[in-house]
Amino acid sequence: MARESSRPGITEVANLAGVSLSTVSRAMNGNPTVDPALAERVRAAAAELGYTANPVARSLVLGRTQTVAVVIPDLENPTFQAILRGLSRAATADGYHVLVADSREDLDEEHTLARATRLRTDGVILCAPRMPEEELATLLPALSPAVVINRGPQISAPVVGADYGLGMREIVDHLTSLGHRRLVYLAGATRSVTHKARQEAIAAAVSRLDRLEVEEITAGVDFDSGTAVADQVLASGATAVIAYNDLVAMGLLSALTVRRVEVPGQLSITGFDDIPFAAYTSPPLTTAAVPAVDLGAAAWAAMHAQLTGGEPTPALTMTPTLVVRGSASAPRED
């Protein structure tokens, strides 16, 4: 039985084109120092032989992997999935791959993943890192080039984020315009900057608005977190709830349905993020829509600028939009 012919290599291309191995390598990698006529001869020889460059060898020659890492705190969260979708689509369009690492809300894991993935990629994008400001500032130089999503603009890397404080203000103003004065805030990722932005917006509203009371209950970031605090919410005497995100709001909504509590008749509920399911709950969820896909695309643009020597990207903040649906209405009069 005849043996199948071996795959053509760079030596065969060099021999056919009549050039050196280094010229083939530089021509195939698009090095502008190669004479255009020589480069065309190399490409024609490669095409005739059916030669394609080995991607691993190419990365060694270029010193690049054409891959970036994205470290996120929770891959199951639809908001982070949307950010990844926007980021990966934009990266793919520029010829890059995306390596995703999930820290599972673990600070130690977040550090480890960020450093480990940087060794295998051209840069790291930290999506909503939970680590304290000083730890993040110490870590970023070791990751460069790096981009950070949803942190303060004072850090030493490009930052892309949403104005969660403004989104929270719009939710509070909407509920108070309906007549609510006793609210509950279900706190989620309490170590995150976005949680602090929510807290500050609530505190400002309490100072600004007459007779407004907001009780904070520590919940979590997922569906089960909302379900678990249903009895606490009912015991608070509040007429409306602001959940940390839509998942928590949906968990609470489910638990209240089991308890036969009318929403919004007996209790209004609002979320945050506007994940795809928010419009299809019963009743549909009032929330603040975060442009997550656009955040991901903007994060990639900031990374790509660093990888290609482009202009540094200034801090970019996007604005959430209030989406009014059926889960919030005026409080029932006793």
pLDDT of residue 334: 62
Q: pLDDT at residue 331 above 90?
A: yes
pLDDT in tens, 168-207: 999 999 999 999 999 999 999 888 889 999 999 999 999 9
**What is the C-alpha to C-alpha distance for residues 90 and 72, in angstroms, rounded to an integer?**
18
Q: Is the model's pLDDT at 55 over the cut of 80?
A: no
- Section 37-50 average pLDDT: 86
Res 246 pLDDT > 90: yes
Whether pTM > 0.95 for this model: the answer is no
| Contacts with 176 (C-beta within 8 Å, 6 or more apart), sequence order | 205, 209, 212
- 22, pLDDT greater than 70: yes
Q: State the Cα–Cα distance between residues 224 and 80, nearest whole angstrom.
A: 18
More confident position, 36 or 101: 101
Residue 107 has pLDDT above 70, yes or no: yes
pLDDT at 24: 80
Instruction: Please tell me what DSSP assigns to residue 273.
Output: B
pLDDT band at 2 (very low <50, low <70, confident <90, very high): very low
Angle between helices 36-49 and 10-17 (to 10 degrees): 120
Least reliable range by pLDDT among 58-72, 99-113, 204-218, 290-304: 58-72
∠ CA(157), CA(162), CA(163), 5° rounding? 115
Residue 49, strand partner residues: none
CA distances from 148 to 16, 116, 191, 329 (A): 48, 17, 16, 37
Cβ atoms < 10 Å from Cβ of 287 = 30
Instruction: Tell me what pLDDT residue 281 has.
Output: 97
Backbone phi and psi for residue 131, each to the nearest 5 degrees, phi listed first: -65, 150
Mean pLDDT throughout 271-280? 96
Contact 83, 137 (CB under 8 A): no
- pLDDT of 28: 76
Confidence of residue 6 (pLDDT cuts 50, 70, 90): low
Integer angstrom CA distances of residue 131 from 66, 88, 103, 140, 148: 27, 24, 11, 12, 12
Residue 168, judged by CB atoms within 10 A of its CB (0-12, 13-18, 19+), counts as buried
Highest-scoring range by mean pLDDT, 20-29, 58-67, 109-118, 240-249: 240-249
pLDDT score for 33: 79
Calculate mean pLDDT across residues 260-273: 97
Say yes or no to pLDDT of 209 above 50. Answer: yes
Name the phi and psi angles at 251, rounded to 5. -65, -45
C-alpha closest to that of 323 among 293, 284, 292, 296: 284
Predicted confidence (pLDDT) at residue 314 exceeds the cutoff of 90 = no
Q: Which of 260, 249, 253 is closest to 282 using CA atoms?
A: 253
> What integer is the mean pLDDT of 258-272?
97
Nearest to 289 by CA among 225, 224, 245, 327: 245
CA 265 to chain centre: 35
Output the six-digit token pair for 226. 């909302």
Tell me if 69 sits within 8 A of 96, measured CB to CB: no
d(CA 86, CA 295): 7
CA-based nearest residue to 132, from 108, 112, 115: 108
Q: Which two tokens stand for residue 174?
A: 């909407």
**142 DSSP β-pair partners:** none
pLDDT category at 251 given cuts 50, 70, 90 is very high
Q: Given this model, what pLDDT does residue 46 score? A: 85
Encode pLDDT of 319-328 as tens digits.
999 999 999 9
